Structure 1
Amino acid sequence: MSVPEFAPAKVNLALHITGQRADGYHLLDSIVGFASIGDKLTVSEAATYQLTATGAFVEAMPKVEDNLITKAVNWFAANCSENPNVAISLEKNLPAAAGIGGASADAAAVIRALAKLWDKPLPTAQDLLFLGADVPMCLASTSCRVGGIGEELIGVASLSGTPIVLVNPRVAVPTPKVFGALKSRNNPAITNPDFTAETDVIEWVLAQRNDMQDAAKVIAPAINDVLMALESTFPRIARMSGSGATCFGIYGTQDAANEAAQKVATINPNWWVTCGQLI
């Protein structure tokens, strides 16, 4: 039996850092969406554990034993009293250390696939925090407001179908470095939403911010170039996702998003540029 699973890119439409706990973990208040752009994997029963990968970003992946997918498989198998011997085929389409949850999305996707393969319930968000703050939200892979250190998930109005462009200058930005460069860790939380239609959601998101953006731009100045390139295409919003360096533009129509992606890619042929929709 084989189980295919999609690992969509996570997009922090807004990301506020509201504090830091005594143990060092940062408190988040984030509005997260997921894109039709992502990695693809298939999980099959096997005699031994295998992880094989293809795609544009294979070279950036850690060794099999250090991969977050492997850690997720071993933990979930032990938690379910199952044999971790499965064969995983991964198509790696998302860049690493890019602020869009690539490794976390893969780990979450493999857990969803194993739950289907083994007929087991999905773990809780709290259970998955040890794999990283992005894994619980990636397991859900639906529009949500994220609080705590990543374990508090609250559903928000769907942005499904919203046209989006993702751009990365092919510069890896390690999240710990960005946290270390933050000038403030006690920022205001996201304002409570007050909208009645999908069009108002975007306006509300526009009024929010990404508290990691300025710190990330110091570490990776190319983020400035990406944001300016996106802004030149007149999106409704242009902002960095997560800790960067990937930035996104949201557009009023799919044609506008397609044209924007083509323009940015033509002028910057060495960047990773892709377009799709929020799901």
Structure 2
Amino acid sequence: MHGFAPAKVNLALRVTGRRADGYHLLDSLAVFAGVGDVVSATPAEGLSLALAGPGAGALQAEPDNLVLRAARALAAEAGIAPAAAITLEKHLPVASGIGGGSADAAAALRVLDALWGTGLGPARLRTIAAGLGADVPVCVESRPMRMRGVGEVLDAVPPLPPFGLLLANPRLALATPAVFKARAPGFSAEAAYPDRWPDAAALADWLRPLGNDLEAAAITLCPPIAGVLAAIAARPGCLLARMSGSGATCFGLFATPVEAEAAAAALPDGWWRWGGAEARHGG
């Protein structure tokens, strides 16, 4: 069994409040890129995880990968013993604001649900996902969704027009809690959604004033983000340049995947970069 774990991109991200337990409330339009990790699993006596791919080294020191936690949570929900040999082929940068670990956990839930024949279905998988992290429920869906609450409230969005995405990261990890801690006080109102966006330019125009409420704090902690944003914005055809999530990955919105791919190729070789189409068919 194989599962694609696409990068999650927050086209807009507003911090709308804070719960009594300290967790922040969000309002975000999340989409998924055509680049990601791959999770595969085969039957085995016990539960194991092997790491592969160009990004595997960054995970070697982790004592308990989120993929394994997802496997154990799924088995507990289904009332079975967790038994599978899992391989995570890592391509996305870690701690980078595009939900790499969350996407991996979500892919593991989908793959193991199929491998073990538990048949829990999307709703129960999302419930399990909510206990693993704020981004995991939307990554179970791996399609354009509006995220609210602490990530557990998911709503469908109007059909998105075709567009191209560019992703770039200066190969710098950025811890999400530190970014929230550095954020300026105050909260934003939830976004008002239109019935549709006729084209990519209209989508960019709608997104522009919504912003990413974590971007300024992330730049304070990681100044190279500003250079990445400037480099993306300077590429021909860029409709919008913005940071995704808590950073440090930034994205560019383009009218076509071809333009996004060409723009990504022109960015510095030392950065992690990708350009192409949105993942239209989920994970």
Shorter-chain TM-score: what band?
over 0.9
2:276 aligned partner, one-letter code:
G
Tell me the equivalent position of 1:275. Answer: 275
Q: Deviations over 1:176-215 (max 9, x none)?
A: 0000001124222213324353443333223321000000
- The unaligned stretches of length 5 or more in structure 2 are none
2:232 corresponds to 1:233: no
CA distance in structure 1 between the partners assigned to 2:77 and 2:63 by the alignment: 19
User: Aligned partner of 2:92: which letter?
Assistant: L
Asked if residue 253 in structure 1 is aligned to residue 251 in structure 2, the reply is no
TM (norm. structure 1) is 0.93
Does the 8 A contact of 1:51 with 1:64 survive in 2? no
Matched residue, 1:61:
59
Structure 1 stretches lacking a partner, 5+ long: none
1:225, 1:271 → 2: CA distance? Answer: 11
The 5 Å alignment of 1:92-131 reads 92-119=90-117, 120-122=119-121, 123-131=124-132
Going from structure 1 to structure 2, the CA distance change for 1:160 and 1:34 (only over 3 Å counts) comes to farther
Checking the alignment, whether the CA contact within 8 Å between 2:73 and 2:128 is kept in structure 1 is: no
1:220 is matched with 222
- Name 1:40's counterpart in structure 2: 38
- Cα distance change, pair 6–160 in 1 and its aligned pair in 2 (3 A): farther
Give the partner amino acid of 1:55: G
One-letter code aligned to 1:53:
L
Where do 1:10-25 residues align within 5 Å?
10-25=8-23
CA distance in 2, matches of 1:273, 1:238: 14
1:85 aligns with 2:83: yes
Indicate the residue corresponding to 1:157 in structure 2.
158
- Provide the aligned C-alpha RMSD in A: 1.6
1:173 maps to 2:174: yes
Residue identity (%): 42
SS at match of 1:66: coil
Q: Whole-Å Cα distance in 2 between the matches of residues 105 and 160 of structure 1? A: 23
Residue deviations 1:113-171 (CA, integer Å, cap 9, x gap):
11111222232534422211000010111101111111110011343752111000001
CA distance in structure 2 between the partners assigned to 1:194 and 1:110 by the alignment: 34
**Is the contact made by 1:143 and 1:157 (CA closer than 8 Å) also made in structure 2?**
no
How far the C-alpha of 1:65 sits from its partner, in A, is 4.6
Task: Tell whether the 8 Å contact from 2:162 to 2:256 is kept in structure 1 after alignment.
Answer: no
Is the contact made by 2:161 and 2:199 (CA closer than 8 Å) also made in structure 1?
A: no
TM-score, normalisation: structure 2: 0.92
User: In 2, are the aligned partners of 1:236 and 1:250 still within 8 Å (CA)?
Assistant: yes
**How many angstroms does 1:276 deviate by?**
1.9
Residues 17, 27 of structure 1: 8 Å contact kept: yes
